[in-house]
Amino acid sequence: MADTYAISALTDKRARIDGEIQARRFQIMRLECELAHIDAVIKMFSPSYDISKIATKRSFSKNPAGTPRGSGSREALTILREVNEPLTSMEIAIRVLAKQGREDTPESRGMLANTIHSTFSRRRDGAVILDASQYPAKWSLARR
């Protein structure tokens, strides 16, 4: 009896995944068609333009945290100022979500933590310091 429930659930899951694959294939075909049209227009304006030299850009998915662009990093700096102690990217992300009244899901927390880490890592002004001597590494504000 339990086998029929398992088989039913598995066939249902397989059908949903297969449907998603079909939808993605259609989406890929549509995007490839758009790309071909854009390439043709580029060639109309500049026939000698080497399209293969155009670097691919990563497309970002919708922000699951729902925070406006740039607000997470600004809020993270504010939190570091307020707590005056080193925090991990994940701890900062949790506090940013709470401060902005956003839902704290594993997906939103993880994406925001990654964003904070990469944004702080790219800073060249020395405003934030990463202490990687411990795991997980902690961010703090530079003393000025």
pLDDT at 100: 86
For residue 64, the model assigns a pLDDT of 67
Six token digits for residue 10: 């598995």
pLDDT attached to residue 101: 87
Query: Roughly what angle, to the nearest 10 degrees, separates helices 89-99 and 71-83?
Result: 100
Strand pairing class (128-131; 138-141): antiparallel
Segment 34-44, tens digit of pLDDT: 999 999 999 99
DSSP lists the bridge partners of residue 97 as none
pLDDT of residue 95: 93
Q: Please check whether the domain covering 71-141 is classified as CATH 1.10.10.
A: yes
Task: Look at residue 58 in the predicted model and tell me its pLDDT.
Answer: 73
Q: Are 141 and 128 in contact (CB under 8 A)?
A: yes
Instruction: Give domain limits for the chain.
Output: 2-53, 71-141
Q: What is the pLDDT of residue 3?
A: 84
Q: Which stretches of the chain score pLDDT less than 50?
A: none
How far apart, in whole angstroms, are the C-alpha atoms of residue 16 and residue 30? 21
